[in-house]
Chains A and B, each alone.
Chain A
């Protein structure tokens, strides 16, 4: 091989290595840029009042978003109650029971559902839970988020169940356990760490959804009067405050964003910890 060709190959190699490295660095720095920007802009408005007080009327400064923080948690609770059981059971079906063709159809449908734009799911929840009763409600918001939680939970549950070795299933069945008993007492516990992680991540993923909440849960400047009433949530508050023409509101929107991101990051890191602890007991 000629010398020139050899040099060219080395240069190309170094060039591609640099390009991929720069891209990887970019990915990491985007997160830290967002985080830094949030802290820079929202940090000033983030105080105890922000966490514990209701929003002040227009024109008055101060106040907080306590109702939106609690509201977001309530909506996530509803989404969890409505979506997680369906996702879990469907995931079990896919991994343990389904035949070839039917499994393929369900898996493909799940992926499609995962790809449906959140605003479309919002319209669906609107026509399902808002139009019949003619008012916005926390419940409708929970339905919208619950639907979004399902496909993520299905796929992560399926994945983690498939990772459970078949010999465990055989071991249980050889002792006389039925298929359902085997799944409930051996397979699901073996995959529990991963499944719970998947569930938390799916909730973290929908925690920031705004579009489907705009016309289901709507918003509320006060404490919500129950599941059948409109409820405030962090993403919708951010939207409302960010487009308002007041500097104080802008800062509060940043602070709300910081809280939301904090919650999501906390869920992510918590999952990692749960998973790695599980992993350690396994490999010992």
Chain B
């Protein structure tokens, strides 16, 4: 049980991260290395239909950025350009620049990019494998052959699922409840230690209690991860995010600190949306 006790205490890397984060916090608003994604003049096309128009946005490091807006406004499409998932759809085209830590994502090998930028989907999509194999999947395909057991345990702990599944690691992932499955998918994404976690309406298929668990989880993950979350739930954006971006018809209308955007929106369309007048 040596591994279990070892896993309970934070790893050296985590402690180091926490220290650097807490040291930085007093001056957190400083600009030096605080931007993770820098998107400039992004346009996206499905065939001849344009879905994203001239979007500019900076996604700050170790913060949660929420993307809100009515259905079909291009939030998810935009999110999926960040790890180049849209490339799996035929006949799509990206114009513009996306920098990850100052590097153009088109210059990064797509496999490496997706290891650094993980993704959680709207509906839990565990693989038809055991819980253990689900978490280990990303490690295995990236050729990791070290101590899988420890990393699987660590990832499940980070996703706050370990206590519920530690005795059933080799049972099918389908045996889990919806909320557990979604946390399993988060653990699966976390296993390869991504810098960014993209979440596409991760709670839309879950009940309020489970949703609260995932929001709590996002709060804890901020230490080590930058997050961008698409959500239809305005309360969720207000509760769980540090920054909020409002999109409408493929355009970014407003982007600000969450507290600002929800209390004193600058654009009348933002105000109309967050007060529930449309969408």
Q: A: which residues have CB within 8 A of B?
A: 165, 167-179, 181, 185-186, 189-190, 281-284
CB distance from B186 to the nearest CB of A (A): 12
- Count how many pairs of residues, one from A and one from B, have CB atoms less than 8 Å apart in the complex: 74
What chain B residues lie within 8 Å of A190 (beta carbons)?
A: 127-128
Additional pairs, 20, CB under 8 Å, beyond known A172-B137, A174-B121: A167-B123, A168-B125, A170-B88, A170-B119, A170-B121, A170-B125, A171-B127, A172-B141, A173-B88, A174-B189, A175-B115, A175-B189, A175-B192, A176-B115, A176-B192, A177-B141, A185-B141, A189-B128, A189-B129, A283-B174
In the complex the two chains form, what is the Cα distance from A283 to B174 in whole Å? Answer: 8
Please provide the chain B residues from 77 to 96 with a CB less than 8 Å away from any CB of chain A in the complex: 83, 85, 88
Residue B265, interface by CB 8 Å: no
3 closest residue pairs by CB, A with B: A175-B138, A174-B119, A167-B125
Can you name 18 A-B residue pairings with CB atoms under 8 Å?
Answer: A167-B121, A167-B122, A167-B123, A168-B125, A171-B121, A171-B126, A171-B188, A173-B85, A174-B85, A174-B118, A175-B118, A176-B114, A176-B142, A176-B192, A186-B128, A190-B128, A282-B128, A283-B174
Which residues of the other chain, B, contact A167 by a CB distance below 8 angstroms?
Answer: 121-123, 125
Chain A residue, CB-CB nearest to B142: A176
Decide if B112 is an interface residue (CB 8 Å cutoff). Answer: yes
CA distance A281 to B138 in the complex (A): 23
Complex contact A281–B137 (CB within 8 A): no
Question: Closest approach, in angstroms, between the C-beta of A87 and any C-beta of chain B?
Answer: 22
Interface centre among A171, A172, A175 (most CB of B within 10 A): A175
Q: Judging by beta carbons under 8 Å apart, are B118 and A284 in contact?
A: no
Task: Say whether, besides A175-B192, A176-B115, A186 and B175 are in contact (CB < 8 Å).
Answer: no
B38 CB to nearest chain A CB (Å) = 21
Known: A167-B121, A171-B185. A284 touches B85 (CB 8 A): no
> Across the two chains, which residue of chain B brings its CB closest to A191?
B128
Give the complex CA separation of A168 and B88 in angstroms. 13
**Chain B, Cβ-Cβ closest to A100:** B90
Chain A residue numbers with a CB within 8 Å of B118 are: 174-175
How far is it, in angstroms, between the C-alpha of A173 and the C-alpha of B142 when the chains are bound? 12
- When distances are taken between beta carbons in the complex, the residues of chain B under 8 Å from A165 are 125
The chain A residue sitting closest to B83, CB to CB, is A174
Complex contacts, A186 vs chain B, CB 8 Å: 127-128, 137
B224 CB within 8 Å of chain A:
no
CB distance from A186 to the nearest CB of B (A): 5
Nearest B residue to A168 by beta-carbon distance? B125
Q: Using A167-B125, A175-B137 as known contacts, say yes or no to A284 and B114 having CB atoms under 8 A apart.
A: no
Residues of A within 8 A of B112 (CB): 176
B19 to chain A, nearest CB (A): 29
**Closest A-chain residue to B139, C-beta based?**
A175
Taken residue by residue from 183 to 206, chain B's Cβ proximity to chain A (1 for < 8 Å, 0 otherwise) reads as 001001100100000000000000
Residue of A nearest to B117 (CB): A174
Most buried by A among B85, B110, B127: B127
A192 to chain B: closest residue by CB: B128
Find out whether the CB atom of A176 lies under 8 angstroms from the CB atom of B85: no
Name the distance in Å between B112's Cβ and chain A's nearest Cβ: 7
A172, B127: Cβ atoms under 8 Å?
yes
> In the docked arrangement, what's the CA distance between A171 and B114, Å?
11
